[in-house]
Amino acid sequence: MLNILRLLSFFLLLATNSAIAQESLLNKEIVLDKTEGTVEEILNEISQKGGFIFSYGNQIMLRKQIIIKNKRQSVKAHLNEIFLSEEMVYVVKKNKILLSYRGSKKKEQNENVIISGYIKDADTGEVLIGATVWIKELTSGTATNSYGFYSLTVPKGLYVIHCSFIGYVTISLEQSLLSNHTHSIELTVSTNQLEGVTVTSDQNDDNISSADIGTHDLRISTIQQIPALAGEVDLLRAIQLLPGVKNSGEASTNFSVRGGNLDQNLILLDEAPVYNPSHLLGIFSVFNSDAIKGMQLYKGMIPAEYGGRLSSILDIRMKDGDKKKYNVTGGIGTISSRLTFEGPIIKERSSFIVSGRYTYSDVITKSIKVFETGKARLYFYDFNAKVNHTFNQRNTLFISGYAGQDVSRLGALGSIIWRNTTATARWNHVFRDNLFSNFTFAYSNYNYALKVGQSNPLQWKSSIEDFALKADFNFFMNPSNAINFGFTSTHHGINPGKSEYDSIAALQTRVPITNSLEHAIYISNEQKVNDKLLLSYGLRYSIFQNIGGNKVYTYNDEHQLTDSVYNSSGEIYNTMGGAEPRLAIRYLLSGTSSVKASYTRTFQYLQLLSNSSLGLSSFDIWFPSGSNLKPQKADQVSLGYFKNFKDNMFEFSVEGYYKWLYNQVDFADHARLLFNPYLEGELRTGKGYAYGIEFLLKKNTGILTGWAGYTYSRTKKEIPEINSGKAYNANYDQPHSISLVAQLKLSKRWIISGNWIYSTGRPLTLPVESYDYKDYSVPVYPAERNKLRLPNYHRLDVAVTWKNKEKQGRKFRGEWVLSVYNVYARKNPLLIVISTPVGDSKNPDRLVAQQLTLLGFIPSITYNFKL
């Protein structure tokens, strides 16, 4: 745009030019002090001594080094010498000399060229996601995509390209761009940050300049500094510290985003969905921080390439593996230990990473004699692996996988075992310098088996298995338009539940297996309308198809079974779908502030039926939409104001949102989820809504970093058969929440970090009276569901990190992390129940109200190392 304005000005001035004036300025004799330097420096000296100014477009190569032979000569002669081989036109207008290329040369110079490539970590060769490439002269830039690739279309010329990423030293490269150019850039970690002194390196102002709203980018280095429960660095607990994200209970890594249900968050690990992200019943997440590069949370404007969930997308990327040298990293903690090995297979071209984690809680469990047989076991393990190979600048292949298992055996009581497996193969292909593509094959399997009893146990098994194909294209059309398009197709195979029991035939039940296909095509464009206005708009169209080979039950309006139909194998007997428009607008108020707005529609075709309102992973059943269950749908609007201070050292944002939710699922009173082939008859659907306002103040640099967040939000459901059809508080309705996260780098070796969180107590339904029936005291609940609340939740965690002294030439690095969860031992009740007392053998039949507090004061120590 600026170029066009300059060109227009040039022609305007040309038309009114005076030949006399031209000659007078051009003939003026100038004696230069400096005869060697850049074009810009020489022009500046001529300009100063001549008392006039030069005006020129960005096609002039200002950084070109030149030598002037004649110090004393006319302006015109100087210019001819400067632009020796160039066909230039000098036009004088009043006190200005306009410089421009002549004829075809000018046209050529105005043609666009593309600079593209990857931005990587200089130390490891890992690509950096979201790094910024910026050309100041053009006020134009871009950011790397999920594979570290960037492409920028610019007019031919000589530019200074600035490349930056938070935590890395910004570099500026002078680049003559006369033809398409591939340039991979390596950034070095800012050593200042490690040394614990004030860092003033350039920071990314993406939060202001991008159209992203309701988005958080958390890097693993940030997450690793947050105090962790039992020393286990946990991605999912970290995002619960962000505004708009709430935990689903003290002991759960599951989370609710902007009032949505727990199943309304799509968690992707290298693009493969993870259906149960929990270890140890939900207390830890399955993600091993040593194998993770970073993650992006979308809770407002969800880009068109993502879909399938109403409330958020959590896109987690595994590390690729160090391409330059071999590393071993690990940690020995209170609950588990981990070990990671990574390195090049072919230096700079291919690498691998393998990472494993194993808990030794089992060792302790075995020694506990509380169980009948003394054979109790309780443990988990997980394993991540990834290899990649860069064939050439245009082709890269990635293969990654995750496998994890939880085993909880309670001797004679039975056991719960669950497994997550994911595998992803991706091929990045650059068709053209401005057309990047990624083709993905993803596999995901989550299954669990519940056994009750030891000899002849009753078993309940459930699973979900996905096979997905995906193609994504990033077309960097021109400086003002970046188009993304693609498609995805997924096969879901769901076994909602099958029971096995030898003794009682009636307990050998099976909820019909379902197979389904979920497809989507999408296209979106990020359009820079002018320097202030940026639009991001797109459309996703999703289709869901139920495939036959199973029995489908039909129910009447009273949810009673009326009939069943067997659909032949492979037959698509039900198809549904819809358009999902996405729109985001950013308007720059100044260089440091902007306002943004967005609208997002999403569909969700899979729902998690959970017997637990607390988010503890146990007997969850994934269930597809179908002829008895419409897909969930949401419309969300957001509005936000973003402001940066002190050279992006501080970021401030306030975002408001309103979300309309349709076809929300809840259960009939006392619904039976297990051993029930007529599961759909237990479901009730209705609408819901959520709204809120989120404040976030973040400090990115300096010895003290962190953020403070406050959220006010409400979320309600309205389902005809529940709560007499009146709106009631959803399980995750917690109006006020505050999170404070801080990290203080005391020195090169000492770091103190802490976080404090507060939230309104979760809603609950408690009996208000009771009555006698036979020998039972039957509770009576109030007419309104979820009207009461648990006490407000708050907790302080701190951690101290002490790094070993670094020695010249010694590769080994180690650090001790002492962390304390719930420093002031706040008793945050997880639930309140009225039942017979736990552990009171004297009066076992007495009825009492009890509150369960799960996590009190928990100190832990971890040793981390790298060699």
Partner 1 sequence: MKQVTILAFSFSMLIGLSSCVEEINIEEYVGEPSGTLVVEGLITNEKKAHYVKLTRTTNVIPKESADPVTGAIVSVSDGDTIFLLTENEIGSGIYLTDSIVQGEVGKTYTLSITMDGKTYEAIDIMEAPNEFDENDILSIYMRPDQSGGYVNQLFTVAYGAHKPSMISVEIVNPRPEDKYTEIWYYTFPGADVDNILPTPTESLVFVSGTIFQQTKYSLSNEHYLFLRAVLLETKYVGGVFGSVRANVPTNVGNGGLGFFGACSVKERLKKMM
Residue with Cβ nearer partner 1 (581 or 779):
779
Judge residue 556's burial from the number of C-beta atoms within 10 Å of its C-beta, 0-12 exposed, 13-18 middle, 19 or more buried: exposed
Q: Structure tokens of 581?
A: 């428009």
Residue with Cβ nearer partner 1 (216 or 684):
684
Strands, DSSP E only, in 675-735? 683-699, 704-718, 728-729
Size of the chain in residues: 867
Question: Residue ranges of the alpha helices (H) in 656-724?
Answer: none
Q: How far is the CB of 778 from partner 1 (least distance, A)?
A: 6
The CB density around residue 374, as the number of other CB atoms within 10 Å, is 11
Residue with Cβ nearer partner 1 (591 or 856):
856
In the chain, the amino acid numbered 680 is E
Strands, DSSP E only, in 53-200? 53-56, 65-67, 72-74, 88-93, 96-101, 112-121, 132-135, 140-143, 149-155, 157-164, 171-177, 181-182, 185-187
Q: How far is the CB of 776 from partner 1 (least distance, A)?
A: 4
Beta strand pairing status for 96-101 and 53-56?
parallel
Q: How far is the CB of 850 from partner 1 (least distance, A)?
A: 5
Please give the Cα distance from 840 to 289 (Å, whole number).
42
Please give the Cα distance from 706 to 697 (Å, whole number).
9
Residue with Cβ nearer partner 1 (189 or 788):
788
Q: How far is the CB of 237 from partner 1 (least distance, A)?
A: 14
Q: Structure tokens of 532?
A: 């202030």
Residue with Cβ nearer partner 1 (544 or 732):
732
- Enumerate the β-bridge partners of residue 297: 216, 314
Q: How far is the CB of 672 from partner 1 (least distance, A)?
A: 6
Which DSSP letter does residue 413 get? G
> Would residue 633 be called left, alpha or beta, if left means φ above 0 and alpha means ψ between -120 and 50 degrees?
beta
Please give the Cα distance from 420 to 404 (Å, whole number).
5
Residue with Cβ nearer partner 1 (533 or 848):
848
Task: Determine the straight-line distance between the first and last CA of the chain, rounded to whole angstroms.
Answer: 51
Q: How far is the CB of 786 from partner 1 (least distance, A)?
A: 9
Q: How far is the CB of 350 from partner 1 (least distance, A)?
A: 40
Half-sphere exposure of residue 825, counting CA atoms within 13 Å on the CB side? 2
Residue with Cβ nearer partner 1 (181 or 787):
787
Q: How far is the CB of 455 from partner 1 (least distance, A)?
A: 12
Q: How far is the CB of 770 from partner 1 (least distance, A)?
A: 5
Q: How far is the CB of 675 from partner 1 (least distance, A)?
A: 4
Among candidates 608, 602, 728, which has minimal Cα distance to 660?
602
Spell out the residues 6+ positions from residue 12 whose beta carbon is closer than 8 angstroms to its own.
none
Q: How far is the CB of 452 from partner 1 (least distance, A)?
A: 4
The CB density around residue 350, as the number of other CB atoms within 10 Å, is 18
Instruction: Give the Å distances, CA to CA, from 700 to 129, 201, 204, 236, 649.
Output: 18, 11, 10, 21, 5
Residue with Cβ nearer partner 1 (741 or 790):
790
Residue with Cβ nearer partner 1 (15 or 506):
506
Residue with Cβ nearer partner 1 (669 or 806):
669
Please give the Cα distance from 239 to 251 (Å, whole number).
15
Q: Structure tokens of 205?
A: 């102002």
Please give the Cα distance from 603 to 506 (Å, whole number).
37
Residue with Cβ nearer partner 1 (81 or 721):
721
Among candidates 644, 664, 673, 759, which has minimal Cα distance to 719?
664
Residue with Cβ nearer partner 1 (173 or 849):
849
Q: How far is the CB of 263 from partner 1 (least distance, A)?
A: 15
Residue with Cβ nearer partner 1 (174 or 840):
840
Q: How far is the CB of 254 from partner 1 (least distance, A)?
A: 13
